[in-house]
Amino acid sequence: MKRIAIMLSMLTLIWGCKQGGESGVEETAKETGVFPQIMPEEKPDFALSASMDRIYTDYESPRPDKNELFSQFKYTELKGFDYNGHDGTITRRDPSKILLHDGKYYVWYTYRNTPTPPQGAAKCNDTIPSSDWDLSEIWYATSTDGFNWEEQGVAIKRPEKPLVGWRSVTTTDILEWKGKYYLYYQGFMEASGKRGDDCPVAVSYADSPDGPWTPHNEIVIPNGGEGAWDQFSIHDPYPLVHDGKIYIYYKSDFGQKGDWIRMQGLAIADNPLGPFEKHPLNPLITSGHETSLFPYKGGVAALVYKDGPEHNTIQYAEDWVNFEIASITELMPYAAAPFVPDAFTDTKDGRGITWGLAHFINYTGEWSKFNSKLVRFDCDLSRDIHDPQMKHHRVNHKPDVYYRQALTQKQRKRISEENKALLGL
């Protein structure tokens, strides 16, 4: 009897699909209480589970390959940079967004060239770095294809003590504003690792991307006050132009040193040299690390990777403040620094991104030779291309990738003991 009833309701459902299109489907679903075979385009007004509800509120499509804000990421080794055989004495990391100027791509990045690899805060001195980004400068390179780069040399040197950034200037990003150029960067005034990774943000400006760069020599985004979430670190300054203002998204590490919680905040100014006002809702994104963003339609999208409960997501904020998960992805670029053609145009119709630079940290995997290497990533997070090969909804890793995530001896021992107890051996 029950089977007949189900059959009848399914036949009714199919008949509803044929007869009434969407409304028929909804009506039939309401009558039968069974979610229809043809998924309603618009959010139906019958009861949905929380997860089903998100399909209509959060995602452009139930299929990632139909979601403009989903993409896989592909990686290509860059040419034009020497790393001393990756012995740890040279690092290039934390690249800036890519700027296109006079037919050339420009990128700025943290450059360290020291007599030794990083030795930790206890052993560091005026020439021995504490961390991979200690005793660093901001260098830059140019390219005409994004794969082959020509290193141009230093853009921002470390200033004299006690000016902001005297110990290290790192983790920079570029702003083009009213025909001038601004490089924002972390200005360390103590070796990273002494207390934490503590620094504010400084800025230098120039009339050309090739410099010369004039340091503003003042802190433009200060650390938070006593007890504030961003009291110690203002990392990864990431400027965009929106609503006629300069929006700088940034990260801070808070909670317990060594067990940091990392979240993203926003500071806004009318003038590139500040004053920057921090958003009252900060922190705005509960996850991520060097979080990169790009205008998308009328809002802004964010590549949120590495840390936090929502890592490995691409998020979207229509109002540039309240972010929602737009897709979940994998193998996301570290410190992604995309080419964002409309980063500074104050666009209301953001087009998205297709490539940029990123970095691999601890490139050789040997902590005693810690150094990082720049890499190119490509993706399809653009409204102007459709690359199906970037839209496969999973990366098919080969078995060796899984085998490399091997159990440790300690884990094997624990499992063996549990097994013996279970089997009474």
The binding site for ligand AAL (CB under 6 A) comprises: 94, 133, 170-171, 186, 197, 235-236, 251, 289-290, 335
Q: Which is nearer to ligand AAL, 204 or 354 (CB)?
A: 204
What lies within 8 Å, CB to CB, of 195 at 6+ separation is 232, 257
Q: Which is nearer to ligand AAL, 169 or 390 (CB)?
A: 169
Q: Which is nearer to ligand AAL, 351 or 373 (CB)?
A: 373
**417: which 2 tokens?**
């003991």
DSSP string, 361-397: SSTTS-GGG---EEEEEEEEEESS---GGG--SS---
Residue 42 sits at the vertex; the CA angle it makes with 38 and 44, to the nearest 5 degrees, is 80
Q: Which is nearer to ligand AAL, 234 or 301 (CB)?
A: 234
**What region, left, alpha or beta, does residue 9 occupy, with left being phi > 0 and alpha being psi -120 to 50 degrees?**
alpha
Q: Considering only CA atoms, which of 195, 198, 134 is closest in space to residue 168? A: 134
What are the strands, taking DSSP E only, across 115-177?
Answer: 137-143, 149-156, 168-177
CB atoms inside a 10 Å sphere around CB 363: 18
Shortest Cβ contact with ligand AAL: which residue?
171
Shortest Å distance, C-beta 190 to ligand AAL: 12
Shortest Å distance, C-beta 170 to ligand AAL: 5
Distance CA 86, CA 74 (A): 23
Q: Where does residue 364 rank: exposed (0-12), middle (13-18), buried (19+ CB within 10 A)? A: middle
Q: Which is nearer to ligand AAL, 220 or 390 (CB)?
A: 220
Q: Which is nearer to ligand AAL, 251 or 376 (CB)?
A: 251
CB 276 within 8 A of CB 289: no
Shortest Å distance, C-beta 167 to ligand AAL: 12
Shortest Å distance, C-beta 73 to ligand AAL: 18
Q: Calculate the alpha carbon distances from 423 to 413, 416, 417, 418, 420 in Å.
A: 15, 10, 10, 9, 5
Shortest Å distance, C-beta 263 to ligand AAL: 12
For 205, the 3-state DSSP assignment is strand
Shortest Å distance, C-beta 253 to ligand AAL: 8
Q: Which is nearer to ligand AAL, 73 or 250 (CB)?
A: 250
Shortest Å distance, C-beta 88 to ligand AAL: 16
What lies within 8 Å, CB to CB, of 302 at 6+ separation is 249, 264, 285, 288, 291, 292, 293, 314, 315, 316, 317, 323
**284: which 2 tokens?**
């705005």
Q: Which is nearer to ligand AAL, 16 or 165 (CB)?
A: 165
Q: Which is nearer to ligand AAL, 251 or 373 (CB)?
A: 251
DSSP string, 238-272: EEEEETTEEEEEEEEEEEETTEEEEEEEEEEESST
Q: Which is nearer to ligand AAL, 176 or 236 (CB)?
A: 236
For 58, the 3-state DSSP assignment is coil
Shortest Å distance, C-beta 224 to ligand AAL: 16
Shortest Å distance, C-beta 227 to ligand AAL: 21
Q: Which is nearer to ligand AAL, 68 or 290 (CB)?
A: 290
Shortest Å distance, C-beta 129 to ligand AAL: 12
Q: Each residue of 69-79: b (16+ CB within 10 Å) or e?
A: bbbbbbeeebe
Shortest Å distance, C-beta 146 to ligand AAL: 22
Q: Considering only CA atoms, which of 276, 266, 262, 143 is closest in space to residue 203? A: 276
